[in-house]
Chain A
Amino acid sequence: MTLRVLYLPAALLLLGVLSIGPACASIPGDLFDAGNTAYEDGRFEEAVTSYEKILQYGLHDPRVHYNLGNAYFKMRRLGSAILHYERALRLDPSDGDVRENLIFARGQIRDRIPEPEMPYPIRAFTTVLGRSSLALVTVIFLIFYLATGALVGALGVYRSLATRRVLGYVTVSLGLCAALSGAALYYTVMRMTAEEAIVVEDRIDVRSGPARDNTVLFSVHEGTRVEIRNRLDGWIQVSLPNALSGWVPDTGIEQV
């Protein structure tokens, strides 16, 4: 009798868990489909609402950010569109659609800030890395790293001088590859975690200090990307690629 009393709540609990699990899993998917349907029908505000709810679940899929950027772009909210394209690109740098939409959207912004010129080898290196996903760079690094570790261990096992010489050469080569891929992984991580923000208001005055009474140094417009350097009491110190720097209120920009 006692056992039966215990079995009933346990069975109900198990049933509840089994029923809640699929429901939770399907909500973001349903929202995603609803957002896509609204987008197809030209109801871009509803699409934005659906996509934003998915992000509130903590589900950061690059396709959600990409579609959200598209919806914002159709609503002519250029800053928000570029913000979500940037986020989608950070999550999946290998997606060409995101990259091309971002370039197209950047062509619509008012500010033209020249990027600093880089020598060819560095530019080629960063271009290749910029289109490689973090997972790919991580896997390549781990392969070289583990292979190097295995060969180092083999050096401790084999006593023959000839074998050890061959092992030594291969180990050094793989070690260099591991170091190079490690640097690439480091660069990719730094790039994807860089503190950058997008201007989401039509125009922001950049001031010389974190207060309204400071001098307006210059203005930036919606969609411009800035680098975050410091934060202080609701103000953010930002800098541009052309070395211009100043403080803006944190309501005017949104971090990528």
Chain B
Amino acid sequence: MNRQGTRRSVCSRSLRWILVGILACASGMSWTSAQAAEVRASVDRTRIRLGDSLTLTIEVAGGGSDRVAAPDISKLSDFEIARGPVRSHRFQFVNGVSSSSVTYQYVLVPRREGTLSVPPLRLLVRGRMVATQRIRVEVLPRGSAPPRPRAPAPGVQQDRRLRSRGTREAPSIDDVRVLAEVDTSSVFVGQQVTLAVMLVSRQELLGLAPKDSPTFPGFWAEEIKLPENYNAEQILIDGVPHIRYTLMKRALFPTNAGTLTIPPVTYQIQIKRRSRDPIESFFFTPVETIVRGSSPIAVEVAPLPTESRPADFSGAVGRFDLSVVADRTTSSVNDAIGLEVRIAGVGNLRTISEAPLPELTDFKEFTPKVTEQMRIRGDRLLGEKSWDYVLIPLAPGEQTIPSITFSFFDPAAGEYRTVGSQPITIQVARGDGAPGSPYTPVAQSDVRQLRQDIHYIKLAPDGLRDRSRPFYRSPVFLVILLLPVAADVGIFAAAFRRERRHANSRLRRERRARSIARRRLKDARKLLTPHSSRAFYASVAQALTEYVADKFDTAASGLTHQRIEELLSSHGAPDDLKDSYHRCLEACDYARFAPTSSSEEEMKRTSRVAEEMLVALERSLTK
């Protein structure tokens, strides 16, 4: 019983010590983590050139490093963040002592030259705001000598192992450079400038990518394809072996005259980072990303000379050959011929758009098929452009495709050159001209005027004539104008005179009508005897009829009784007077042609009635 109770007490005692030990360890750990966190900021280099990059490392070590927020980098105005932040967390347990740290890494590219500073960056560690120390960085001009490492500044990491390793200097990230070169810096507009961007390094490259897609304002750029391994070659710089990679090649064709600038080409390069941690170096490949850019290059571009510029120059610069080939030289009307016009040579042919074939009058031409092929040989752009025409002869006979010319500017010689082809003669038959065979319809085309000029001078085979004095100024014209006027005036004067004369005779006859009638009645009264009664009545009837004829200026022979009545009515004679007149004339006619003679008394009465009627008529007609 006691032994059991003693054993139980020993067990409980040892269990108590184990618990105390565990608590002591736990309390020790919590004490460790409760220590104040240490924040350090460091850069890998404090002297760099403009365009190079540096790595900013912010390390939070000590307690509470697992509860760290990313630093506030809003005040980092002198640098551009090329990459980052990259966060890494490290935990160590050595000899019962644990430690942890959190690291933020940024790749920075300076914005300007001079002495720049990384300002105190604030970050939140376990609810407390902690700031890093200020770091100064000296930025040298672009293209200056590689900066030498200076004495370590506060916050600069120093790899003591490497420095203590011995005589041979380890490769530095300053040895990684991006260079841009052009084959010539003085060209004509349209002449090729070959740009080569290279990377020179003593280090092994782990990765490479252009930071931005390169642009070349003012240039027409053609890519020159490179092999996959970037043409890596070993070169010696100051006796030190380097590896040179050709990163990019472009065939550039300036489009404007003046001083053009090829902008820097920037790459992000991943290289192997030196690590202080042998375990990290052994098991992992620490990578550092740096940014390197080339220097801008100025290119002087001269304009193409304007004098002696050919009229058909279309902007091609280089050296080209022209070939014109027809697929056959015999054809027939409406039978198509193929004609290939090919321009090939060194230079950029993409700028040529116009077809070089002139207007052909005896051929109908269709829109050509244009083939364009560009290739690079020996870093020079070779162009080849061909136009495949389909020509249809429109007329039989010997038709000629005239010489085709092509003008370009040869920058090597500094002058324009024109190449031309030989005229091609096509024998065109009339087509299927077998007797009785139907004619094929001819493809007609409009006749188009190609150019314009003034008409040619005139000849004067019939001699020259002065035409400065027009006919309307001559006296003959005036005479012709006056002639009809004078003639018409004469005609109308004559007509007037004739009318007037005629009017006078009528008036005279009218006036004398009554006296003549009275004289005739007087003569009739001499015949107042029975045996001459017919003559008496004839005289009375004649006197009455001729009175009316004289009064109205008409012939007596055609006057019937009805006509006399019409004339009297037209002049307003009273009806009773007309009736009396009519009866008197009828009585005369009756007595003239009656078988018996009239008495003397009847004749006197008739004479008196006739006399009175004439008086009444005279009064009535002269009102």
User: With an 8 A cutoff between CB atoms, is A181 at the interface?
Assistant: no
Residue among B466, B467, B491 with max Cβ neighbours from chain A (10 Å): B467
Q: Are B452 and A104 in contact (CB under 8 A)?
A: yes
Known contacts A101-B454, A138-B472, A138-B477; A61/B492 CB under 8 A: no
Interface residues of B in 495-517 (CB under 8 A from A): 495
In the complex, the answer to whether A97 meets B472 with C-beta atoms within 8 Å is: no
**Residue of B454, B467, B471, B472 touching A92 (CB-CB under 8 A):** B467
Closest to B495 in A: A156
Binary contact readout A43-81 vs B (1 if CB under 8 angstroms, 0 otherwise): 000000000001000111111101100110100000000
| A146 interface hit (Cβ, 8 Å) | yes
Chain A, 130-146, CB within 8 A of any chain B CB: 134-135, 138, 142, 145-146
Query: Could you give, for residues 479-505 of chain B, a 1 whenever the CB lies within 8 Å of some chain A CB and a 0 otherwise?
Result: 011011101100110110000000000
For B493, give the chain A residue with the smallest CB separation: A156
Which of B464, B465, B487, B491 has the most CB atoms of chain A within a 10 A radius of its CB? B464
Q: Are A59 and B466 in contact (CB under 8 A)?
A: yes
Closest approach, in angstroms, between the C-beta of A160 and any C-beta of chain B? 13
A29–B460 CA distance with the chains assembled, in angstroms: 8
B481's nearest neighbour on chain A, judged by CB, is A145
**A189 interface hit (Cβ, 8 Å):** yes
Cα of A14 to Cα of B253 in the assembled complex, Å = 86
Interface contact A156-B491, CB-CB below 8 Å:
yes
Hey, which chain B residues are within 8 Å of A58, CB to CB? 466, 468
A255 to chain B, nearest CB (A): 14
Cβ of B475 < 8 Å from any Cβ of A?
A: no
The secondary structure that dominates the A interface is: helix
Does A223 have its Cβ within 8 Å of any Cβ on chain B?
A: no
Interface range for A: 35 or more
A245 at the interface (CB under 8 A from B): no
A185 interface residue per 8 A CB criterion: yes
Q: Are A134 and B495 in contact, CB atoms less than 8 angstroms apart? A: no
Q: Is B484's CB under 8 angstroms from A153's CB?
A: yes
Chain B min CB distance to A76 (Å):
12
With beta carbons under 8 angstroms apart, the residue of A32, A70, A145 that contacts B484 is A145
Q: A32–B472 contact, CB under 8 A?
A: no
Q: How far is the CB of A232 from chain B (nearest CB, A)?
A: 27
Q: Tell me if A28 and B454 are in contact (CB < 8 A).
A: no
- A237 part of interface (Cβ distance < 8 Å): no
Would you call B457 and A67 a contact (CB within 8 A)?
A: yes
Taken together as a complex, chains A and B put the C-alpha atoms of A153 and B483 apart, in Å, by: 11
Partner of A156, one of B454, B485, B488: B488
Q: Which of A61, A91, A149 contacts B488 (CB 8 A)?
A: A149
A67-B457, A156-B495 given; A91·B468 CB < 8 A: yes
A–B complex contacts, Cβ < 8 Å, 12 sampled: A36-B457, A39-B457, A58-B466, A59-B465, A61-B460, A61-B464, A61-B466, A66-B457, A135-B471, A146-B480, A157-B491, A189-B470
Q: Residues on B close to A: CB < 8 A?
A: 452-460, 463-468, 470-472, 477, 480-481, 483-485, 487-488, 491-492, 494-495
Chain A positions within 8 Å of B, measured between CB atoms, are 28-29, 32, 36, 39, 54, 58-64, 66-67, 70-71, 73, 91-92, 97, 100-101, 104-105, 134-135, 138, 142, 145-146, 148-150, 152-153, 156-157, 185, 189, 192
Given A92-B467, A146-B483, A189-B470, 12 more contacts at CB 8 Å? A36-B459, A61-B460, A70-B456, A104-B453, A135-B470, A138-B470, A138-B477, A149-B484, A153-B487, A153-B491, A156-B492, A156-B495
